[in-house]
Structure 1
């Protein structure tokens, strides 16, 4: 990419897309294409083809997706598989039809098997059964990876796929029914402190381990890979460190200044017991995350309080 390249950020209003957009603007990329979902339904093939025909992007960051936590994935599995399959299929195929030079597809660490060896290496993809709570979403993302690889093989395209770990940051979704664990906890602790609630209830046992990446670090990695990586095999993006949900809750409790009790609801699902990415491939290329977890959560808490 150069500063005047025509760059389409699909999903620019989302957590990931907005971070990528900010990153590109900060480096003075001047020809960014963005289109809100109210103006372009990415699930409609004809509309997506028309958009690509009219705008002719040279580079595409495919960050548009339907996302959510355990509750949302369990409650709306059909929506998660249909919406994501349609969105990514239409964008990838239109990128081929209209000569996009390079596309970056954003997957998810949930593509890896439920009982995957830890940390999870890229080659572990499709080596075992998926976690049932988010299987439809994971299957859609795996299809996107394989579609990019198939188009590279058959048509000589340059489509790369990246697998970020759990993401967070200002502008996240704080809806308790649809959000991921970290923003949900920020909301719970903030409200409990404000309303003097004596305890905060947390889903599951608190023992599963998770890795968290600040959204601006992900954006930096995506731009780095768009500039420096040209192979079909997937690349993990993470920090290479994890912690338990209980440890996460205790950290957010401290940052939020909440003094009450933690209560874990053992009747609720834990999900996968551990999800830690092996990031040695990306590290070997010269990229590492810069934002520490406490620093990132502090920024996110400040942003949430301003909502």
Structure 2
């Protein structure tokens, strides 16, 4: 890639897109473009078509999606399925039609079957049934992966899919109705600390295992895919290490400084028992994560403290 190639980052204001923008700027890329959702509705095929005809990006990075945790997925299954397919289908199809040099599709580890062997290998895709609590989002992302694979097979284009594990970091979503597990915990422990170290109730049993990757490491993986023509269509991106949700809660509680009790609501769902990524495929090509989990959570909490005026304190 030339440093002046026009690179369109879809979802550049989100956690992942913003991190990718920062990372590409740091690498010396000078022609980055982005549009807010108010400026360009990626669900609108005509609007996306008009955008591509005007801008003609050389590279498209799809970091745009409707995302959320178990609660949001359960409450809005149609939107999670349809809106994500609309967004990615428009971007993938227009990138092909306008002969983009490279397309990088970002998905999620939830594309893999619920009971797949651990750690999750790329080959396990579509070998069994999905986790019911996020299957709508997963099915949308799987369709994006297969669309990129089909383009690669039929048109020999450099379309590649990167499947990150659970991401966290600055610009995360800390809204308790729609957030993922780590930002939700940070928010709950922080609010409980301010309320006098009141008890914090968390969903499930605390026994599921989860892997977490700092968003800046994910951005470096995108840069790696930018700078190299990867030989396959699908790559996992993660640390290759996980911990229980209970141990994650204890770590976040320590970092936040909350001194109260933790109550586990076993009536709420646990989700997938374990989701550890096999990241040997991408690591073998030269990419490595670099941010330690504790350091990453501390950075994330500091970012939250600087931006907490966006979130109202919950009454506990």
TM-score by length of 1: 0.99
Q: Does 1:86 align with 2:86?
A: yes
Partner of 2:59: 59
CA distance in 2, matches of 1:133, 1:67: 13
8 Å contact from structure 1 (residues 164, 238) kept in 2: yes
Output the CA distance in 1 between the equivalents of 2:147 and 2:232.
Answer: 11
SS at match of 1:130: coil
1:239 aligns with 2:242: no
Offset at 1:248? Answer: 0.2
**In the aligned structure 2, how far is the partner of 1:206 from the partner of 1:269?**
10
State the alpha-carbon separation in 2 of the partners of residues 230 and 286 from structure 1: 11
Q: Which residue of 2 aligns with 1:50?
A: 50
User: Does residue 182 of structure 1 match 2:185?
Assistant: no
Distance in structure 2 (CA, Å) of the matches to 1:248 and 1:157: 41
Instruction: Flag the 1:232–1:50 CA change in 2: closer, same or farther, 3 A.
Output: farther
* Counterpart for residue 259 of structure 1: 259
Distance in 2 between residues matched to 1:21 and 1:272, nearest whole Å: 31
Structure 1: distance between partners of 2:43 and 2:283? 35
Q: Write out per-residue CA displacement over residues 120-150 of structure 1, whole angstroms, 9 at most, x where no aligned residue.
A: 0110000100000000100000000000111
Contact persistence 1:111–1:125 (CA under 8 A): yes
CA contact (8 A) 1:58 1:102 kept: yes
Query: Do the aligned residues in 1 keep the contact of 2:11 with 2:62 (CA within 8 Å)?
Result: yes
Matches within 5 A, 1:146-295: 146-295=146-295
- The SS at the match of 2:284 is helix
Number of matched pairs: 307
Q: Which residue of 2 aligns with 1:137?
A: 137
CA-to-partner distance for each residue in 1:23-73, whole Å, 9 max, x for gaps?
011122110111111010000111101101100100111110000000000
Q: By how many angstroms is 1:230 displaced?
A: 3.0
CA distance in 1, matches of 2:114, 2:209: 13
Please say if residues 148 and 232 of structure 1, whose CA atoms lie closer than 8 Å, have aligned partners that are also in contact. no
Structure 1: 4+ residue segments shifted above 2 A: 229-233
Counterpart residue number, 1:21: 21
Q: CA deviation at 1:232?
A: 4.0
Q: In the alignment, which residue of structure 2 is the partner of 1:37?
A: 37
1:219 positional shift: 0.1
For structure 2, the 5+ residue unaligned runs are 308-316
Q: Which residue of 1 aligns with 2:310?
A: none
Matched, 1:306 2:299: no
Instruction: Point out where structure 1 has 5 or more consecutive residues left out of the alignment.
Output: none
Partners of 2:121 and 2:154 in 1: how far apart? 26
Contact 2:107 2:141 in 1 (8 A): yes
Q: Quote how far apart the aligned CAs of 1:283 are.
A: 1.2
CA RMSD of aligned residues (A): 0.8
Give the conservation status (yes or no) of the 8 Å contact 2:208–2:244: yes
Q: Secondary structure at the match of 1:167?
A: strand
**Native 8 Å contact 2:159 2:233 kept in 1:** no
Provide the secondary structure at the position in 2 that maps to 1:241.
coil
**Mapped contact 1:160–1:231 kept (Cα < 8 A):** no
The superposition leaves residues 259-285 of structure 1 with CA deviations (integer Å, 9 ceiling, x where unpaired) of 111110001000000000001111111
